[in-house]
Amino acid sequence: MKINKMLGTAVALTALAITMPAFADENAELVINGEIPIVTKTAAPAHLEGALDEIMSGWVFRSDETQAMEMDDFDNPAMLFVEEAMVAFETPMGSEGKSCADCHDGPESLANVRPTYPKWNDAKEQVYNIQMQVNDCLTERMGAEKEKYDSQLMKNYLALLASVARGTPVNVAIDGPAQPMWEKGKEMYYTRYGQLELSCASCHEQNYGNWIRADHLSQGQVNGFPVYRLKDTKLTSAQGRFKGCVRDTRAETFKPGSEEFLALELYVASRGNGLSVEGPSVRN
């Protein structure tokens, strides 16, 4: 009887160790370069009532070493791509002989872009994300070729636009004409895919803080994108990560740039309303 009781206690403790959220440092605060404070935890937006009370950046779930890399631009490998984008920003492209700098007063003038996208575009009468807006600038104003959705140059531009917005709260609008697309993204978030029958919510809402194999599950927030993934040694966009997640359920995945992933990006971005833009971030 005593042995059975001891075994029962051991099993209970083991289960607790597996299911209790384990953060790298629950009290860690992210301040980039010692001067840009980043909100990594805050109250969940109203539209998440009943799902989450608090939202947390993926930074909270990383190891101390990975967290530290993001705190200093000299240690953050993603900043190399920001530097490349700054050169491209000043470089004329296309038949019009224009650069980004000819229309925009430096990257800092675009600091309001990353926190608010995806958003409704009145002129195009559809939801736009940053890649779509960049391609419009390239083709319609500069006479240049459209960039592939996840090309290196496109991801560099994403990193640059994120870097100048760091510390600004995410504020993605979900009402008005964007709402039907947002609703579609929400439906996708809770839809189970693949042979493993997993939804986004299965991991990032119901099991964040737990471990799946060697991965410490986060809430799947995208305020840090694009991210430099140490395991891949390259930048990854939000939709690029969506593709990998759906693939990992052993399903036929959607393509970056598809209507499905655009809807999902809008919905997931809105789940982070109130967190700071912190990209380009560092993740495992």
245 is in an annotated binding site: yes
Residue at token pair 């459209």:
146
* β-strand pairing of 30-32 with 36-38: antiparallel
141 is in an annotated binding site: no
200 is in an annotated binding site: yes
216 is in an annotated binding site: no
For 244-271, what is the HEC assignment? HHHHHCCCCCCCCCCHHHHHHHHHHHHH
Yes or no: say if 120 and 178 are a contact pair by the CB < 8 Å rule: yes
137 is in an annotated binding site: yes
Query: Given 245, 246, 263, 282, which residue is catalytic?
Result: 245
The two structure tokens encoding residue 58 = 């993926």
213 is in an annotated binding site: no
247 is in an annotated binding site: no
The two structure tokens encoding residue 177 = 């004409």
- Of 125, 228, 220, 131, the C-alpha closest to 177 is 125
Provide the 10 A C-beta neighbour count for residue 186: 20
241 is in an annotated binding site: yes
Yes or no: say if 28 and 181 are a contact pair by the CB < 8 Å rule: no
Whole-Å CA distances, 270 to 21, 55, 67, 186, 211: 23, 11, 24, 10, 25
Q: 233 in the Ramachandran plot: left (φ > 0), alpha (ψ -120 to 50) or beta?
A: left
The two structure tokens encoding residue 212 = 């799946």
Residue at token pair 């959220």:
21
204 is in an annotated binding site: yes
Residues 262, 129: Cα–Cα separation, whole Å: 7
* 245 part of the active site: yes
Binding site membership for substrate: which residues? Answer: 241
**Catalytic residue positions?**
245
Binding site membership for heme c: which residues? Answer: 100, 103-104, 137, 200, 203-204, 245
Binding site membership: which residues? Answer: 100, 103-104, 137, 200, 203-204, 241, 245
